[in-house]
Amino acid sequence: MNKQVTWVLAIVVVALIGLSVYYSQSGNQGYTYTTTTTTQTSALTTTTTTTTTSTTSTGGATIEITASGFSPKAVTVKSGDTVTWINKDSVAHWTASAVHPTHAVYPEPGGCIGSKFDACRGLAPGESWSFTFTKIGSWIYHDHLFPSNTGTIVVQ
Ligand SMILES: [Cu+2]
């Protein structure tokens, strides 16, 4: 493959990522999704990571989702902080407020079932999802696809 074709492919990939960022920003206020796209050609390997952040905060926390559940299982943040979950497993995981299946414990309306604290879909392996907590309290949540996996966010 010659160099010109490789550059055209790279430009197309960047344009597609730009479109996906536009749609994720316009359709998911308050949520942050991270999309990682890897394109390989015989002449060039392009790895692009695009992150859209809806809220900037000095605090917050990152929680890994693995086959054995959330890690760490409990975190403490301040009101206004953003918590990010990243799926480190090889199957999808869905973070949502307790209690399965009503998801209504976290008292902020919105979302898709019973609370705004809900990813509203399974996160693919490697994907992350963020939520900003503004309600003070101790909030239990779970994995909607593996409901026995639970965790706690303490908001001070
Ligand atoms: Cu559930």
Q: How far is the CA of 99 from the centre of ligand 1 (A)?
A: 7
Structure confidence at residue 116 (pLDDT): 98
Structure confidence at residue 59 (pLDDT): 87
* 129 neighbors 32 (Cβ within 8 angstroms): yes
Q: How far is the CA of 24 from the centre of ligand 1 (A)?
A: 23
Domain ranges across the chain: 3-51, 61-155
Q: How far is the CA of 70 from the centre of ligand 1 (A)?
A: 15
Q: How far is the CA of 103 from the centre of ligand 1 (A)?
A: 6
* 90 neighbors 68 (Cβ within 8 angstroms): no
pLDDT in tens, the chain (156 residues): 566 666 555 555 555 444 444 444 444 445 566 655 554 545 555 555 444 444 444 689 999 999 999 999 999 999 999 999 999 999 999 999 999 999 999 999 999 999 999 999 999 999 999 999 999 999 999 999 999 999 999 999
Q: How far is the CA of 96 from the centre of ligand 1 (A)?
A: 6
Structure confidence at residue 23 (pLDDT): 46
* 97 neighbors 141 (Cβ within 8 angstroms): yes
Neighbours of 46 (CB within 10 A): 14
Q: Does domain 61-155 have CATH number 2.60.40.420?
A: yes
SS3 107: coil
Measured CA to CA, the distance from residue 135 to residue 138 in angstroms comes to 9
Q: How far is the CA of 91 from the centre of ligand 1 (A)?
A: 16
- 107 cis-preceded (ω within 30 degrees of 0): no
Q: How far is the CA of 52 from the centre of ligand 1 (A)?
A: 26
Neighbours of 147 (CB within 10 A): 14
Measured CA to CA, the distance from residue 5 to residue 3 in angstroms comes to 6
- 101 cis-preceded (ω within 30 degrees of 0): yes
Measured CA to CA, the distance from residue 37 to residue 16 in angstroms comes to 10
Q: How far is the CA of 121 from the centre of ligand 1 (A)?
A: 11
Q: How far is the CA of 114 from the centre of ligand 1 (A)?
A: 10
* Nearby residues of 108 by Cβ (< 8 Å), 6 or more positions away: 115, 116, 117, 134, 135
Q: How far is the CA of 147 from the centre of ligand 1 (A)?
A: 6
Task: Residue 133: name the closest of 47, 27, 59 by CA.
Answer: 59
